Amino acid sequence: MVEQAHLREVGPRDGLQMVGTILPAERKIDWCRRTVAAGLHRVEVTSFVAPSVVPQFADAAEVARVAAAVLGIEASALAPNLKGAERAIASGVAAVNFVMSASEAHNLANVRRSRTQSLEEFARIVVHRDAVASGRVLLSGCIATSFGCTIAGAVPEADVLEIAERYLAIGADELIIADTVGYANPAQVRGLMSRILSIAGDRPVTCHFHDTRGLGLANVVSALEAGVRCFDTSLAGLGGCPFAPGASGNIDTEDTAYLLESLGFDTGVDIAALLELRRDVESWLPGEQFGGNIAGAGLPKTYRPAALAAR
């Protein structure tokens, strides 16, 4: 029996948040479709932020609707507030990802709310979901800056654990623990994720790492050791931070799949198909920096997917 691990592609959302090119909806949908064809069934397809804030997502409703209805993927969408969540749920996505920061200063800067106000907003989203889409739409509670904050510096682990507990008590179906600014190190990941998993019980927990300081994949290994089996990743490592020019973004989908398969976890991912998709996504986004190593170096001669290696 080969144990499974899961990737959720966040490129069409986190990856596109900062790029210079507004990608047409049909290309975003093509990206989602081909991600599913490559074996990745969970895709964060868009963000329901106000288009005035991020013009890239002015087509959120269209992308989400097509992705959810036509492509048959486990489409999720980010929502920063009740209004976004209402639009997301109306579009038909399978999951809505609400985001708040463990750092009070970051939360105020990012969504202009205190953490208490964010949790109250999440409670309103749960009420709305229960009223209009009970049993059909899952609500994920994401905790940004869980490993540190560029504004406040250190983030106490107790704050992250308390928000996780509040999320679960209010009704989150899943937790996403995010290293938004790339501060996490493997020892910190192992400690925090062990405690998060014991709080979460049987509710799924996903890690969302950035590779800003090169520790992204080392952090994945530590999270695996703590028991995490779900990871947010972005094709071509898209998703750089605007405050660190030249810094890499989300952990790279292809490289993370390679790591997980090498460690014996079946991801179901066809890395060659991802690399083909990557070439197209690169051509759609001229002038951007792309990350990841497998695209340049190729898979080792010794590589075998975990499901084959175990036979």
Active site residues: 241
Of 46, 40, 37, 36, the residue nearest 16 (C-alpha): 46
- # binding residues, a second copy (CB under 8 A): 45
What number of other Cβ atoms are within 10 A of residue 282's Cβ? 15
What number of other Cβ atoms are within 10 A of residue 158's Cβ? 10
DSSP string, 14-71: IITSS-SS---HHHHHHHHHHHHHTT--EEEEEE-S-TTT-GGGTTHHHHHHHHHHTS
Of 223, 231, 281, the residue nearest 257 (C-alpha): 231
Task: Go through 127-141 and write b for each residue having 16 or more CB atoms within 10 A of its CB, e for each that does not.
Answer: ebbeeebeeebbbbb
Q: Does 198 bind a second copy (CB under 8 A)?
A: no
Mask of contacts with a second copy, 120-159, x by CB under 8 A?
----------------------------xxx--xx-----
Mask of contacts with a second copy, 241-280, x by CB under 8 A?
x--xxxxx---x--x--xx--xxx----------------
C-alpha angle 44-187-118 in degrees, rounded to nearest 5: 45
Q: Does 191 bind a second copy (CB under 8 A)?
A: no
The residue among 169 and 187 lying less far from a second copy, judged by its C-beta, is: 187
Stretch near a second copy under the rule CB under 8 A, chosen from 46-54, 58-66, 76-84, 215-223? 215-223
**In the complex, minimum distance from the CB of residue 100 to a second copy, in angstroms, rounded to a whole number:** 20
The residue among 35 and 150 lying less far from a second copy, judged by its C-beta, is: 150
Residue 311's identity, in one-letter code, is R
81, 222, 234, 250: residue in contact with a second copy (rule CB under 8 A): 222
The residue among 46 and 248 lying less far from a second copy, judged by its C-beta, is: 248
Helices 157-170/115-133 angle, 10° precision: 30
51, 198, 293, 308: residue in contact with a second copy (rule CB under 8 A): 293
User: Can you give the binding site for a second copy, defined by CB under 8 A?
Assistant: 148-150, 153-154, 181-183, 185-188, 211-215, 217-218, 220-222, 241, 244-248, 252, 255, 258-259, 262-264, 292-294, 296-302
